[in-house]
Structure 1
Amino acid sequence: MTQAPTPTEDTVRRLVRSLLKDGTAGPDVRPVDESGGLTTWWVGSRHVLRLAPDRESAARQRRELRLREVVRPHLPVAVPVSVAHGEWAPGLTYTLDTKVPGGSAPEPDISALGEADLAGILTGLREVPVRQAEALGVPRAAPRSLGALRRAAGKAAERLARADEFDAGRMHQLTPAAPVQLAAQSGGAVLVHHGLTGAHLVVGADGRVRGVLGWADVVVGDPAEDVAALALAVGAPAAVRAATLAGYGARPCLRGLWLARCDSVVHLADRLSGRSDAALPDLRTQLRNAWEAILLERVTEFRGDDGGDDP
């Protein structure tokens, strides 16, 4: 197998100079953290260059470029625009995107109006025709088993308790019957961003959400996954309020909440045991965010297994 080339600053500078033909030496380029399997570079103050390091990433990037055009009309916030795209090496793609004004952080500071922006994002994703997305090659993802995740999280919680990181007794709030009550409903698949993290939410100084990045991992699947991602990023109350504003009922909101809580416990335990190299402060923040109490879980009781969302 041919070894894929490693992009260097000279590689990036030559590529950028050919794309931004303004008769000068070109803007400054500097690398940023890798995200989603793409090597990413700041280009001056107005552009971002992302290079696919392998053919799988290149295929996802080609799909992402098409998908962003489909999604854009449905969202109330900005989606990056590609001003140039092509191949930086044989079979390996690039896209030069405009920079969305604002900033991203592991724990974004979202205002009340920002929660309405999040609701608009969830609403817009649900409005994208599933057939149109699948025609672009967006894959389907089966809903995760909350029962299996509960069992894994229970074991992880015991490890965290021994490390004095978490009260394992809190997992008892997710009763053995709850995974059945909170099972994903058939026919409820929508377009799922699958990465509504702080790194992908562009937030202004006023706490409004200005844009959404990172469209390479989009799937057709369980909308509770995006609720879960928001719970980890902005806290459980804000995530559930946004999902409720977007028209989701108690069942997907609580399902997303418990996906986030179980994930936060498992991911932190994996990091402490050396099975992950994720940033420890970020994982502790996610654990705290996901386990914030919300009113909905205190007052909701489901009507058996009739599939309804009404408390």
Structure 2
Amino acid sequence: MTQAPTPTADTVRRLVRSLLKEGADDTAGPEVRPVAAGGEAVTWWVGARHVLRLAPDREGAVRQRRELRLRDLVRGHVPVAVPTSVAHGEWAPGLSYTLDTKVPGGSAEVHDVSAVGEADLAGLLTGLREVPVRQAESLGVPRTGPRSLEALRRSAERAAGRLAAADEFDAARMHQLTQPAAVQLAAQPGSAVLVHHGLTGEHLVVSADGRVRGVLGWTDTVVGDPAEDIAGLARAVGSPAAVRAATLAGYGARPCLRGLWLARCDTVLNLAEALNATTRTPLPELQRQLDLAWEPILLERVTELREDGDADGES
């Protein structure tokens, strides 16, 4: 198999000069710089107004082309900004690119989400539920089944023991999720909706006043369990804010608590996996996600779920 080329600053400069048609000589054009230091440079800032994303392989190109079509579909349903492509094509044979307008604002890793911002998140969840599932699947969006919360609970309990031995976590906190509760919080049939599946702090664009202005990173979107997006929000903005947003969006106790425990188990597993790495590196972001997901919420005191109060969505 042919080795994919490695994008360089020169590659990016030549491409964006041809797209933006700025400058007539080899040194003209907007400043370009990789978004992330180190690793594979596949996302680049282009001046102050654009972001260039390069698919690193054929699979990534398929996902990116699907994402472009999906963003056009989603844009009419959600109340926050979705990136717009001003140019797209191939930067190397079979490898796609998209030059997107930058959505103004910082990330949820920098700015706290306000009460009004939680309403923005509620609008996002509501809009995703309203996207016609068949239409999304016709674009190639895959359908995924819900994860087993009981299997996840067992794995997280083992990981919590390793974290406790490293003095990173109180393993007794996992006792809050019992085996009967995990069974009770199983996903309900017919609840599949369009799921962003990547609602990280990095992908939430938040203004200085705490409003959620946009959502990035639609590559991993699936048709599946809406609790996965509630879980993503719990890791990104905290469990109380995530549950309040989901409740405003019409979700009942079951999907809210399911999302809460998906987030908690995931953060325990992610931190334990990172601690087992051969090189011990600072883990502030993983620890931050764990702390956010484990923030207590009032809903945890509910001992009986109201079946008729759930609004899980219909596929």
Normalising by structure 2, what TM-score?
A: 0.93
| CA distance in 2 between partners of 1:232 and 1:14 (Å) | 38
What residue number does 1:129 align with?
A: 132
What residue number does 2:151 align with?
A: 148
| CA distance in 1 between partners of 2:88 and 2:45 (Å) | 15
What residue number does 1:299 align with?
A: 302
Specify whether residues 277 and 17 from structure 1 end up closer, same or farther in structure 2 by C-alpha distance, changes over 3 A only: farther
What residue number does 1:91 align with?
A: 94
What residue number does 2:63 align with?
A: 60
Specify whether residues 102 and 279 from structure 1 end up closer, same or farther in structure 2 by C-alpha distance, changes over 3 A only: farther
The answer on 1:77 being equivalent to 2:109 is no
| CA distance in 2 between partners of 1:38 and 1:192 (Å) | 27
Q: 2:263 aligns with which of 240, 246, 260?
A: 260
Specify whether residues 264 and 4 from structure 1 end up closer, same or farther in structure 2 by C-alpha distance, changes over 3 A only: same
What residue number does 1:15 align with?
A: 15
What residue number does 2:196 align with?
A: 193
The AA in structure 2 aligned to 1:226 is D
| CA distance in 1 between partners of 2:110 and 2:220 (Å) | 21
After superposition, what is the alpha-carbon deviation per residue over 1:87-125, rounded to whole angstroms, capped at 9, x for unaligned?
Answer: 000000000000000012536410000000000100010
Structure 2 residue matching 1:74: 3-state secondary structure = coil
Give matches, 1:83-232, under 5 Å.
83-106=86-109, 108-232=111-235
The AA in structure 2 aligned to 1:170 is R
Q: 1:273 aligns with which of 262, 276, 279?
A: 276
- Report the alpha carbon displacement of residue 278 of structure 1 after superposing the two structures with TM: 8.4
C-alpha contact (below 8 Å) 1:195/1:229 kept by paired residues: yes
After superposition, what is the alpha-carbon deviation per residue over 1:42-100, rounded to whole angstroms, capped at 9, x for unaligned?
Answer: 00000000000100000000000000000001010100000000000000000000000
- Report the alpha carbon displacement of residue 38 of structure 1 after superposing the two structures with TM: 7.6
The AA in structure 1 aligned to 2:4 is A
| CA distance in 2 between partners of 1:125 and 1:83 (Å) | 24
Specify whether residues 124 and 54 from structure 1 end up closer, same or farther in structure 2 by C-alpha distance, changes over 3 A only: same
C-alpha contact (below 8 Å) 2:34/2:41 kept by paired residues: no
| CA distance in 1 between partners of 2:180 and 2:278 (Å) | 30
| CA distance in 1 between partners of 2:130 and 2:277 (Å) | 41
| CA distance in 1 between partners of 2:110 and 2:259 (Å) | 18
Structure 1 residue matching 2:201: 3-state secondary structure = coil
| CA distance in 2 between partners of 1:278 and 1:69 (Å) | 39
Structure 1 unmatched runs, 5+: none
Structure 1 residue matching 2:99: 3-state secondary structure = strand
| CA distance in 2 between partners of 1:245 and 1:198 (Å) | 20
Specify whether residues 278 and 123 from structure 1 end up closer, same or farther in structure 2 by C-alpha distance, changes over 3 A only: farther
Structure 2 residue matching 1:220: 3-state secondary structure = strand
C-alpha contact (below 8 Å) 1:34/1:40 kept by paired residues: no
C-alpha contact (below 8 Å) 1:236/1:257 kept by paired residues: yes
| CA distance in 1 between partners of 2:261 and 2:57 (Å) | 35
Structure 2 unmatched runs, 5+: none
Specify whether residues 206 and 166 from structure 1 end up closer, same or farther in structure 2 by C-alpha distance, changes over 3 A only: same
Specify whether residues 281 and 55 from structure 1 end up closer, same or farther in structure 2 by C-alpha distance, changes over 3 A only: same
Normalising by structure 1, what TM-score?
A: 0.95
The AA in structure 1 aligned to 2:117 is G
Structure 1 residue matching 2:91: 3-state secondary structure = strand
| CA distance in 2 between partners of 1:260 and 1:67 (Å) | 26
C-alpha contact (below 8 Å) 2:159/2:272 kept by paired residues: yes
C-alpha contact (below 8 Å) 1:270/1:276 kept by paired residues: no
What residue number does 2:285 align with?
A: 282
What residue number does 1:2 align with?
A: 2
Specify whether residues 175 and 275 from structure 1 end up closer, same or farther in structure 2 by C-alpha distance, changes over 3 A only: farther
Query: What is the aligned length?
Result: 307
| CA distance in 2 between partners of 1:297 and 1:3 (Å) | 51
| CA distance in 2 between partners of 1:228 and 1:22 (Å) | 43
| CA distance in 1 between partners of 2:262 and 2:300 (Å) | 14
- Report the alpha carbon displacement of residue 22 of structure 1 after superposing the two structures with TM: 3.3
